[in-house]
């Protein structure tokens, strides 16, 4: 007879439930990942909404607005009616997102290490590699969605407040709501993407783990 393979494959809804309960059990550990994501995404959202405010001012204020924006440090293209990030801002955004990704990878690797025995038991009971991978990806997705959305909203609010202080509340009247929602959505998607990207390698390690060695590692 051929040796039976591992056959356990949970429904997607059950996988979501297990991942959610796992995050609740490791709440404070999860908050490390979420907090780093909130900070990085809030800065990205802040920069994007700032550009929306500046673009709205330029389109409605003409040369006078262009002069004020240039003095404030924006790269203004009056002919195209566009405002771009400065090189300094671009580098800061890239570095903050990179640091966030490294932090997520580190936190997820620690999570895998702490859960050697749990992963080993699940695999000994017949869990498929794809199931282990799915659980880690779902956890990362939940963390990413919560942290990215919170960060995007915080960054947006802080950007609106900063714009009102620097240019007056009148500057917000020319701000297209669709642009703000688009920037918040883009920042949220970027945060979710970073969270999933950061967990890929740790999740792959967990899925490929030998169950016997995993159980022995904690005993």
End-to-end CA distance of the chain: 34
- Answer whether 0.85 is exceeded by the pTM: no
Q: 102: Cβ–Cβ under 8 A, 6 or more apart, which residues?
A: 198
Least confident of 21-30, 129-138, 176-185: 21-30
C-alpha dist (Å) from residue 26 to 13, 67, 91, 107, 115: 20, 51, 33, 12, 11
Q: State whether the Cα torsion 193-199-201-203 is positive or negative.
A: negative
CA-to-CA distance for 136 and 122, rounded, in angstroms? 13
pLDDT band for position 6 (cuts 50, 70, 90): very low
Per the domain annotation, does 7 fall within a domain? no
DSSP for 80-105, written as a single string: TTEEE--HHHHHHHHHHHHHHHHHHH
Provide the sign of the torsion angle of the four alpha carbons 88, 32, 185, 166, taken in this order.
negative
pLDDT number for residue 2: 42
Return the number of other C-beta atoms located less than 10 Å from residue 207's C-beta: 21
In this structure, what token pair is assigned to residue 192?
């979710």
The residues, ordered by sequence, that sit 6+ positions from 122 with a Cβ below 8 Å of its Cβ are 131, 132
For the segment 86-112, what is each residue's pLDDT rounded down to a tens digit?
777 788 888 888 888 888 888 888 877
- Counting the structural domains of the chain, the total is 1
Cβ neighbours around 132 below 10 Å, total: 22
* Structure-token match 């609010």, residue found: 157
- Of residues 78 and 127, more confidence is placed in 127
In this structure, which long-range contacts are made by residues 169-177, counting pairs with CB atoms below 8 Å and at least 24 apart in sequence?
A: 171/53, 171/56, 171/57, 172/53, 174/56, 174/57, 174/59, 174/60, 174/61, 175/52, 175/53, 175/56, 176/52, 176/56
Within a domain: residue 5?
Answer: no
Residue 188 belongs to a domain? yes
CA dist 186 to 49, 144, 164, Å?
Answer: 11, 13, 23
Residue 67 lies in a domain: no
User: 126 is in which domain, residue-wise?
Assistant: 12-50+87-161+177-216
Residue 64 domain-assigned (yes or no): no
Res. 45: pLDDT tops 90: yes
Query: Radius of gyration of the chain from Cα atoms?
Result: 23
């Amino acid at each position: 007879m051929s040796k039976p393979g591992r056959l356990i494959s949970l429904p997607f809804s059950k996988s979501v439930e297990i991942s959610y309960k796992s995050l609740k059990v490791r709440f404070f550990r999860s908050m490390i990942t979420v907090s780093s994501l909130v900070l990085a995404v809030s800065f990205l959202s802040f920069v994007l909404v700032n550009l929306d405010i500046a673009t709205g001012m330029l389109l409605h204020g003409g040369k006078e607005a262009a002069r004020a924006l240039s003095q404030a440090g924006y790269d203004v293209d009056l002919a195209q009616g566009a405002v771009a990030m400065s090189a300094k801002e671009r580098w800061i955004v890239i570095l903050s997102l990179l640091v966030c990704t490294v932090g997520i990878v580190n936190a997820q690797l620690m999570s895998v290490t702490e859960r050697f025995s749990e992963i080993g038991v699940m695999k000994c009971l017949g869990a498929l590699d794809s199931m282990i991978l799915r659980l880690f990806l779902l956890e990362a997705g939940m963390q990413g969605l919560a942290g990215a959305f919170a960060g995007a909203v915080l960054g947006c609010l802080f950007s609106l407040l900063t714009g009102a202080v620097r240019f007056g509340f009148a500057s917000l009247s020319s701000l297209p709501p669709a642009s703000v929602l688009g920037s918040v959505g883009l920042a949220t998607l970027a945060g979710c993407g970073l969270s999933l990207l950061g967990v890929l390698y740790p999740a792959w390690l967990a899925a490929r783990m030998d169950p016997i060695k995993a159980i022995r590692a904690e005993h």
